[in-house]
Structure 1
Amino acid sequence: METEQNVLYAFKSIQQLACSPNQPEYLFQTHFHWMLIGMAGAGAVSMEHGRMELASGTAILGSPGDCVLQTETENGECRVFFIEFMPLSIRMPAQDGSLAEAGAIYLHMYNHAPNASELIALAEQLFSTAITHPEVPQRSLTAHMLIQQMMLWWVKDHQAGHDERWTTEQSVLAALRYMESHYTEALTRELLAEKAGISSTYFSVLCKKVSGFSPSDLLERLRVHRVSELLLQEHGHKSKLDELAHRSGFRDAWYMSKRFRKVQGMSPTMYKQAFVPERIASLEYPYTYHFIALGVVPSIARFSSSSHEVIPLDVRAKVTELPMLASMESQKKWLEISKPQLIVTSSMESVQERFRSLAPVVHIPWLSLSWREHLKWIARLVAKEAEAIRYIEVLDQQAKRLREKLQDRIAPNATVSLFKIENNRCYLYGIRDAGCIFYEFLGLLPHPVIQQRLAQDPNFHSMEISMRQMADFAGDINFIILVPDVGEQNDLLRMNEHWRQFELKNERPVIYLDYREWLHYDPVHIADQLTKVMPLF
Structure 2
Amino acid sequence: MYAYVSMERHTIQAGGSMSLDIGLSAGQERNVMILGHSGSGDLHSSDQCWSLGKGAAWMSPRRLDVVSLCAASHDEWSVSVLTFRTLDPASEPLIGGVEQTAERVYPLFSELQALDHAVGGAARLERSIRVQQIVLWWMTRRQLSEQQSAEDAVLETIRYAQRQFAEPLTKQTLARRAGLSLAHYYALFHKLTGVGPAEYLASLRINRAKELLLHNNLPLHEVAPMAGFKDGWYLSRRFKQRTGMTPTRFRSSKLTQVAAYSSPCYGHLLALGVEPVAAVVPDWQYSQTRFQHAGATRMISQTESEERRLEALALLRPEAAFCLDALQEEGQSFMAQVRTFAPTVEIPWMSMDWLAQLERIAQLCGRASALQSWMDRYEQRRAQTAQLIRKQVGESETVAILVFRPEGCCVYGVRNVGYVLYRALGLTPPAPVAERLRRDSLFHSRLLAPAELPAYAADRILVMIREELPGSRHSYEQLRHSSAWEDMMNRGVKQVQYIKSAEWLGYDPSSIYAQLGHAERLFISD
- 2:186 matched residue in structure 1: 204
Check the 8 A contact 1:223/1:249 in 2, yes or no: yes
Distance 1:353 1:296 in 2: 24
Whole-Å Cα distance in 2 between the matches of residues 355 and 464 of structure 1? 34
Whichever residue aligns with residue 421 of structure 1, its letter is F
Q: Give CA deviations for 1:143-187 in whole Å, capped at 9, x if unaligned.
A: xxxxxxxxxxxxxxxxxxxx9985222211211221111111111
Give the drift of 1:272.
1.3
Classify the secondary structure of the residue corresponding to 2:293: helix
Q: Which moved more, 1:526-535 or 1:477-486?
A: 477-486
Cα deviation for residue 216 of structure 1 reads 1.7
2:465, 2:473 within 8 Å by CA — same for their partners in 1?
no
- Shift in Å at residue 470 of structure 1? 2.7
Aligned pair 1:283/2:285, yes or no? no
Aligned-partner SS, 1:475 = coil
Match runs of 1:234-383 below 5 Å: 234=216, 238-278=217-257, 280-303=258-281, 305-306=283-284, 313=291, 315-346=293-324, 347=327, 350-383=333-366
2:499 equivalent among 513, 523, 534: 513
1:264 partner letter: T
Give the Cα–Cα distance (whole angstroms) in 2 for the partners of residues 326 and 484 of structure 1.
21
The alpha carbon displacement at 1:291 in A equals 1.0
* Cα distance in 1, alignment partners of residues 249 and 192 from structure 2: 32
1:352, CA displacement in angstroms? 4.1
- Contact kept, 8 Å, 2:432 with 2:455, in 1: the verdict is no
1:172 paired to 2:154? yes
Q: State whether structure 2 residue 426 is matched by structure 1 residue 443.
A: yes
Q: Are residues 413 and 487 of structure 1, via their aligned partners in 2, closer, same or farther at CA, if it must alter by over 3 Å?
A: closer
Point out which structure has higher relative CO (alpha carbons under 8 A, 6+ apart): 1
Separation in 1, partners of 2:441, 2:187: 53
Cα offset, 1:443, TM superposition: 1.2
Counterparts of 1:90-101 in structure 2, within 5 Å, are: none
Deviation of the 1:414 alpha carbon: 3.0
- Deviating more after overlay: 313-322 vs 498-507: 498-507
Higher-Rg structure is 2
Quote the residue 2:215 is aligned against.
233
Q: Distance in 1 between matches of 2:295 and 2:427?
A: 38
Q: Mark the CA change 1:296 to 1:176 in structure 2 (over 3 Å): closer, same or farther.
A: same
Task: Look up the SS of the partner of 2:281 in the other structure.
Answer: coil
The within-5 A match list for 1:57-76 is: none
Distance (Å, rounded) in 2 between the aligned partners of 1:220 and 1:297: 29
**Per-residue deviation, 1:529:** 1.0
Q: SS at the partner of 1:471?
A: helix
**Structure 1 pair 440–487 and aligned structure 2 pair: CA distance change class (3 A):** closer
Q: Is the 8 A contact 1:299 1:338 kept in 2?
A: yes
- For 2:146 and 2:467, locate their aligned partners in 1 and report how far apart those are by CA, in whole Å: 51
Which has the larger displacement, 430-439 or 377-386? 377-386
Query: Matches of 2:189 and 2:147 in 1, distance apart?
Result: 20
**Aligned partners of 1:535 and 1:314: how far apart in 2?**
21
CA deviations on 1:426-479 (whole Å, 9 max, x unpaired) are 110000011001111011222222223223322211111134433221123322
**What are the residue-to-residue correspondences of 1:34-53 with 2, within 5 Å?**
none
Match of 1:426 in 2: 409
CA distance in structure 2 between the aligned counterparts of 1:186 and 1:478, rounded to whole angstroms: 58
Cα separation, 1, equivalents of 2:424 and 2:193: 48
- Distance in structure 2 (CA, Å) of the matches to 1:164 and 1:456: 59
Aligned counterpart in structure 2 of residue 392 of structure 1, from 375, 389, 395: 375
Distance 1:329 1:453 in 2: 43
The farther-off stretch of 185-194 and 482-491 is 482-491
Residue type at the aligned position of 1:276: L
Change in Cα spacing, 1:293 to 1:265, as seen in structure 2 (3 Å) is same
1:221 positional shift: 1.2
Map 1:452-491; keep pairs closer than 5 Å. 452-483=435-466, 488=474
Q: TM-score with structure 2 length normalisation?
A: 0.64
TM-score by length of 1: 0.63
Task: Name 1:525's counterpart in structure 2.
Answer: 511
Q: CA deviation at 1:317?
A: 4.7
Aligned CA distance change for structure 1 residues 213 and 243 (closer, same or farther; 3 Å)? same
| Cα displacement string for residues 88-120 of structure 1 (whole angstroms, at most 9, x for unaligned residues) | xxxxxxxxxxxxxxxxxxxxxxxxxxxxxxxxx
CA distance in 1, matches of 2:148, 2:290: 49
Pairwise mapping of residues 81-160 of structure 1 onto structure 2 (< 5 A)?
none
Alpha-carbon offset, residue 342 of structure 1 = 1.1
Higher mean C-alpha deviation, range 416-425 or range 504-513: 504-513
Helix, strand or coil at the partner of 2:455:
coil
Q: Give the conservation status (yes or no) of the 8 Å contact 1:336–1:358.
A: yes
In structure 2, relative to structure 1, the CA distance for the partners of 1:393 and 1:254 (3 Å cut) is: same
Cα separation, 2, equivalents of 1:314 and 1:394: 20
Q: 1:333: Cα distance to partner?
A: 2.8
Cα contact 2:407–2:475 (8 A) shared by 1 = yes
The answer to whether the 8 Å contact 2:409/2:475 transfers is no
Partner of 2:77: none
Q: Deviations over 1:397-450 (max 9, x none)?
A: 222222223333322333321111233721100000110011110112222222
State which drifts further: 382-391 or 369-378. 382-391
Identical columns (%):
28
The Cα shift of 1:491 comes to: 5.0
- Partner SS for 1:445: coil
Structure-2 change in CA distance of 1:494 and 1:315 (3 Å) = closer
1:290·1:522 contact (CA, 8 Å) conserved in 2? yes
**Residues of 2 paired with 1:469 and 1:457: CA distance?**
20
Separation (CA, whole Å) in 2 of partners of 1:310 and 1:325: 15
Q: Distance in 2 between matches of 1:332 and 1:400?
A: 42
Aligned to 1:41: none
Q: Does the 8 Å CA contact 1:282/1:343 hold for their aligned counterparts?
A: yes
SS in 1 for 2:518: coil
Deviates more, 1:221-230 or 1:439-448: 439-448
Which amino acid in the other structure matches residue 277 of structure 1? T
> Partner letter of residue 250 of structure 1?
F
Deviates more, 1:199-208 or 1:218-227: 199-208
Q: Shift of the alpha carbon at 1:339?
A: 2.4
Runs of 5+ consecutive residues of structure 2 not aligned to the other structure: 1-144
